[in-house]
Amino acid sequence: MKRMGFALTLAAVLLPLAYKAIRKHRSTRKPVVVLDMDVVAERSLPGRAAAQYIKTVRNILQRNVEEVRLAYQGREQTPEAIRAITQAQSGYQQQLALYQKKLDNEIGDIVGAAVRSWLAKNRQVAAVVPADETLGYNKNADITRQIMAEVDWYKPSFPPLPRSRANRNSL
């Protein structure tokens, strides 16, 4: 019974202090803003450049697969042809995934640098979170356009394009 009385007394003293601390925190809390990464990737200059680059990579790699198929035209069902075509298709998928990862990392680095630069200018903001990781947000919290303006100042650095089979064979 003594313990319960002590707990109630402690709660009676601490509850107003906790309430006061919460109110103070709410009044000094920095806002959190959101960034729509899909819009940045699709509409920013580096994002559009990356999309065009990966399209070119895909075309070169697909041509390489087609060249292997043409080399075995008329004998596609031979074990050698099946192996070569399967190997070319596998190489296409692996290389495309590797290039895509490199591009994603490059664009991610650019967006990260742009966000850090924006945050340095906007110290009243606590954090920038991806829009698709929220349950919802007020449109006033969306800073996508502002970040895109920062992102557009960066020039992406892409890896060299893959060589086509025709260029490799002529070397």
Model confidence over 15-72: pLDDT tens digits?
A: 566 666 666 555 557 889 999 999 999 999 999 999 999 999 999 999 999 999 999 9
Q: Where are the alpha helices (DSSP H) in the chain?
A: 2-28, 37-43, 45-71, 79-121, 144-151, 165-170
Which residues share a beta bridge with 127?
32
Which of these, 36, 147, 45, 46, lies nearest to 105 by C-alpha position? 46
Q: Is residue 99 part of a domain?
A: yes
Going by C-alpha positions, the residue among 125, 157, 155 that lies closest to residue 35 is: 125
Whether 62 maps to a domain, the answer reads yes
Q: How many CA atoms lie within 13 A of 130 on its CB side?
A: 10
Beta bridge partners of 36: none
3 belongs to a structural domain = no
Residue 7 lies in a domain: no
pLDDT above 60 for 1: no
In a domain, 51, yes or no: yes
CATH number of residue 122's parent domain: 3.30.910.20
pLDDT at 2 over 70: no
Residue 5 included in any domain:
no
Count of structural domains, the chain = 1
Q: Is the pLDDT of residue 108 over 60?
A: yes
Domain span holding position 40: 30-164
> Looking at residue 88, what is its pLDDT?
93
Is 122 inside any structural domain?
yes
Helix/strand/coil for 133:
helix
Q: What is the DSSP letter of 135?
A: S
Residue 115 placed within a domain: yes
Alpha-carbon distance of 130 to 142, in angstroms, equals 10
